[in-house]
Amino acid sequence: MADSNEVVSKVDDVLYDVSEHIATITLNRPDRMNTISGPMLDLLSAFLLKADADPEVRVVILTGVGRAFCAGLDLAAATSGGGIGSSTAPVTTNLDLKHTPPTIIHAMDTPIICALNGSAAGYGMDTALGCDIRLMAKSAKLAAAFTKRGVVPESGGTWLLPRLIGWSKAAEIIFTGRTLTADQCVEMGLVSAAVDDADLAGAARALALEIAANAPLAVQASKKMMRMGLSEGFNDHVHHVFLQLLPLMRSQDAAEGMRAFMEKRTPQFKGR
């Protein structure tokens, strides 16, 4: 039986696993290149929220099974009238996107690593760009194919890409609908590293374990401050950082971190 640090749950097209304070969420629709159906979208959202709410989870890894990370929304279902964005879906301008994966990922305080096991296109690319850290298999590609399909980067790409690589390069990629190799993604700073395909899962887990070994409250507060800093001036930002620092200084983990430093040992953080 799994203990409190190891919980496994499998539900069809998305897998959820927790061990060693790491939640791994895996897109599991390899026969359709992990294209996103409506039920899959709901399940992915639920698992992201579950991981972010779990005090035992300190890092999330988002990855996929098969030769693609995510080839976008399920266009076959959409064009047949049964999927996301189908012509038979009701038209509305009152959209509630609070509980969709890109919005949830952006709002999460828990760090999230995207391990791009294969290529990401459209919605899959936007989802990957929304994660905090990206590692990429050398065979994988990022395909900004939106304008080639007559649409826009609907899930955060127009906000994320200019902030990641600057306006000019983002405009070039989006307007042309260009596909980028792993080496190009590393060169532009879109991913932290490109690794051999067989080494990707191990590299992502090693990085997650390194993050999980640190004080989780401090890591989460740092992510929150980085996110707030995207829309704040410097003076307001340092004020908010100081307000975050005050409760952290009174935490058990801060005391443990300082004791461990003085005693020249590895700290044992509890998230309290």
CATH of the domain at 188: 3.90.226.10
Whether residues 55 and 12 share a domain: the answer is yes
Whether residues 86 and 117 share a domain: the answer is yes
Q: Is residue 271 part of a domain?
A: no
Q: Which of 197, 212, 227 is the last residue of a domain?
A: 212
Whether residues 101 and 232 share a domain: the answer is no
CB 178 within 8 A of CB 213: no
Whether residues 44 and 110 share a domain: the answer is yes
Whether residues 186 and 231 share a domain: the answer is no
* Residue 169 lies in domain: 6-212
Q: Which of 212, 227, 245 is the last residue of a domain?
A: 212
CB 55 within 8 A of CB 12: no
Backbone region of residue 63 per phi and psi (left: phi > 0; alpha: psi in -120 to 50; beta: other values):
beta
CB 39 within 8 A of CB 91: no
Position 184 scores a pLDDT of 96
Helix (H, G, I), strand (E, B) or coil at 93: coil
Whether residues 153 and 230 share a domain: the answer is no
The answer on pLDDT for 1 being more than 70 is no
Quote the number of domains for the chain. 2
Written as six digits, the tokens of 86 are: 């189908």
Cα 167–190–76 angle (5° rounding)? Answer: 95
pLDDT, one tens digit per residue, over 168-225 is: 999 999 999 889 999 999 999 999 999 999 999 999 999 999 999 999 999 999 999 9
Whether residues 22 and 67 share a domain: the answer is yes
Taking CA atoms, 131 is separated from 58, 97, 116, 159, 257, in Å, by 15, 17, 11, 13, 27
Of residues 89 and 166, more confidence is placed in 166
pLDDT, one tens digit per residue, over 228-253 is: 888 889 998 888 888 888 988 898 88
pLDDT, one tens digit per residue, over 139-177 is: 999 998 887 777 777 778 889 999 999 999 999 999 998
Cα 62–66–68 angle (5° rounding)? Answer: 70
Whether residues 136 and 20 share a domain: the answer is yes
Whether residues 44 and 105 share a domain: the answer is yes
Task: Classify residue 75 by burial, with Cβ atoms within 10 Å: 0-12, 13-18, 19+.
Answer: middle
Cα 132–134–138 angle (5° rounding)? Answer: 175
